């Protein structure tokens, strides 16, 4: 395997300027792809992001028997027949979201053997909510040799309340329930726009879902689902990352192909910090960064709260704010791995439990650093942009899992950034 790194020549006075097109949402396309297992017919997905996680899930889908073709950002995928019900450890360990095949396989094929995802860089991530929910729908589930073995002749409706909000858990159960016999009521569902996008696709495929966008969702199971064509929503985390980039560099960036209302909480926080953000129309926004960045506390929480996937990027902004900010991470434990790297760049941050105390404003100076997970890698790149001198970010494979051409997009806005392959 080639080692790829990103080299940035940073500049504390950098001002990013120009227009950037936001890609489709990684977290929306992954469940949309696994939803295609629910039908024999073809599902066409437009505006898909060309990122590594998409190719990983497509490999899983191929193993299961689906065929697909891709033209630019449009994917046609069809699971006429399911050949295998097994998603191997190799693939699941590469990407935890592969667990999203569990519900659809069980509902359509009556059987699923899926490797149990191990812990990952951002803390232990259990899947008990997925498993308990599927059991309530009538599945028999056992854990053997590191694999989840699930079986059900026919799933049946049930009332299920999530003990805790789970994006993937909500998605898996909605998919499974849409082919179950009878009615399912899901309570305390996640409200992330990606969950709603999946519901919209399922409705186009013929699912009977009531209460989309609410915490309680009712699903009347149908015998069969059919094909559909669907536009994947824009990636709100990528958009948020560019908004932070604009705020951080006193820049002037226009984001196109975005959904401003998915970004309400992020925009509110950035405005409070001094950035000017205006909505230009239904799908574009302008961010103008300010000279003085104001410190503030932020606590991650499920949508519509501040997303955990924006925590690392926001932390970088707070290193440049005057004053102290307390960042509280409530969704995942061990999601502060980027902070050790930021300390090497000169940031003043102290971590204690689920809180990081950031004291600004500190000048950053470039160094060689290691990306530890997807969002951490984007945040380290943002830091490198405004650090003086050269920053090398190692392990960019994390970045490539979820950002489409991040360095190319930043370059077009005026950053000195390149990928080094050796
Ligand atoms: C999804 C996103 C990820 C985002 C996360 C939280 C995808 C592909 N990924 O991940 O980018 O950071 O939502 O917004 O959409 N939990 C349990 N038991 C379970 C499932 C989850 O305890 O069975 C816990 C998790 O450990 C975590 C919390 O619930 O503390 C939320 O996790 P969840 O919403 O399920 O995240 P993912 O769907 O894995």
The two three-digit tokens of residue 390, written as one number: 């050269």
Q: Is residue 270 within 8 Å of 35, Cβ to Cβ?
A: no
Instruction: Write down the domain spans for the chain.
Output: 4-22+234-421, 26-231
Kindly state the helix (H) or strand (E) to which residue 159 belongs, with its residue range.
Answer: strand 159-161
Cβ of 132: how many Cβ atoms within 10 Å? 15
Do 4-22+234-421 and 26-231 show the same overall fold?
yes
Domain 26-231 class in CATH: alpha beta
Give the Å distances, CA to CA, from 190 to 38, 170, 350: 21, 6, 31
C-alpha 306 – ligand 1 centre gap (Å):
14
- pTM assigned to the model: 0.97
Binding pocket residue ranges, ligand 1, CB within 6 Å: 27, 30, 97, 125-130, 164, 166-169, 190, 194, 308-309, 331-332
Name, in order, each residue with C-beta under 8 angstroms of 357's C-beta and a sequence gap of 6 or more: 324, 325, 326, 327, 349, 350, 351
Q: Indicate which atom in ligand 1 lies nearest the CA of residue 128.
A: 23
- Pocket probe for ligand 1: among 48, 163, 166, the residue whose CB has the most ligand atoms within 8 Å is 166
Q: Indicate which atom in ligand 1 lies nearest the CA of residue 53.
A: 8
Tell me yes or no: is domain 4-22+234-421 CATH 3.65.10.10: yes
Q: Give me the tens of pLDDT residue by residue for the chain, a chain 422 residues long.
A: 558 999 999 999 999 999 999 999 999 999 999 999 999 999 999 999 999 999 999 999 999 999 999 999 999 999 999 998 988 888 877 788 889 999 999 999 999 999 887 544 445 568 899 999 999 999 999 988 888 999 999 999 999 999 999 999 999 999 999 999 999 999 999 999 999 999 999 999 999 999 999 999 999 999 999 999 999 999 999 999 999 999 999 999 999 999 999 999 999 999 999 999 999 999 999 999 999 999 999 999 999 999 999 999 999 999 999 999 999 999 998 789 899 999 999 999 999 999 999 999 999 999 999 988 888 899 999 999 999 999 999 998 889 999 999 999 999 999 999 999 87
Task: Please list the active-site residues.
Answer: 120
């Amino acid at each position: 395997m080639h080692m790829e790194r990103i080299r940035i020549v940073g500049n504390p006075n950098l001002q990013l300027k120009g227009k950037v097109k936001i890609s489709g949402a990684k977290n929306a396309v992954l469940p949309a792809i696994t939803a295609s297992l629910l039908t024999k017919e073809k599902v066409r997905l437009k505006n898909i992001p060309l990122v590594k996680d998409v190719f990983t899930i497509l490999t899983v889908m191929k193993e299961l028997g689906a065929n697909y073709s891709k033209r630019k950002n449009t994917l046609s995928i069809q699971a006429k027949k399911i050949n295998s019900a097994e998603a191997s450890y190799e693939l699941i360990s590469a990407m935890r979201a592969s667990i999203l095949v569990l519900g659809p396989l069980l509902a359509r094929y009556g059987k699923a053997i899926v490797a149990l995802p191990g812990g990952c860089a951002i803390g232990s991530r259990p899947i008990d909510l997925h498993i308990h929910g599927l059991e309530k729908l009538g599945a028999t589930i056992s854990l053997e040799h590191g694999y989840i073995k699930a079986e059900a002749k026919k799933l049946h409706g049930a009332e299920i309340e999530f003990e805790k909000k789970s994006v993937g858990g909500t998605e898996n159960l909605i998919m499974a329930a849409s082919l179950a016999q009878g009615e399912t009521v899901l309570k305390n569902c996640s409200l992330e726009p990606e969950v709603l996008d999946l519901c919209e696709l399922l409705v186009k495929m013929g699912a009977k879902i009531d209460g989309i966008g609410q915490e309680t969702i009712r699903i009347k199971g149908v015998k069969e689902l059919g094909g559909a064509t669907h536009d994947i929503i824009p990636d709100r985390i990528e958009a948020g990352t560019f908004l932070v980039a604009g705020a951080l560099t006193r820049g002037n960036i226009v984001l196109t192909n975005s959904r401003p209302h998915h970004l309400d909480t992020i925009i509110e926080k950035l405005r409070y910090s001094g950035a000017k953000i205006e909505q230009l129309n239904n799908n574009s926004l302008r961010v103008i960064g300010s000279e003085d960045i104001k410190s503030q506390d932020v606590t991650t929480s499920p949508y519509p709260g501040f997303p955990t996937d924006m925590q690392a990027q926001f932390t970088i902004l707070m290193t440049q704010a005057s004053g102290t900010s307390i960042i509280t991470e409530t969704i995942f434990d061990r999601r502060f791995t980027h902070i050790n790297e930021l300390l090497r760049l000169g940031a003043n941050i102290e971590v204690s439990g689920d809180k990081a105390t950031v004291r600004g404003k500190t000048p950053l100076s470039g160094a060689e650093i290691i990306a530890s997970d997807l969002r951490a890698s984007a945040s380290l790149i943002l830091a490198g942009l405004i650090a003086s001198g050269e920053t090398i970010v190692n392990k960019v494979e994390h970045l490539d899992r979820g950002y489409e051409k991040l360095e190319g997009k930043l370059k077009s806005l005026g950053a000195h950034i390149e990928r080094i392959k050796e």
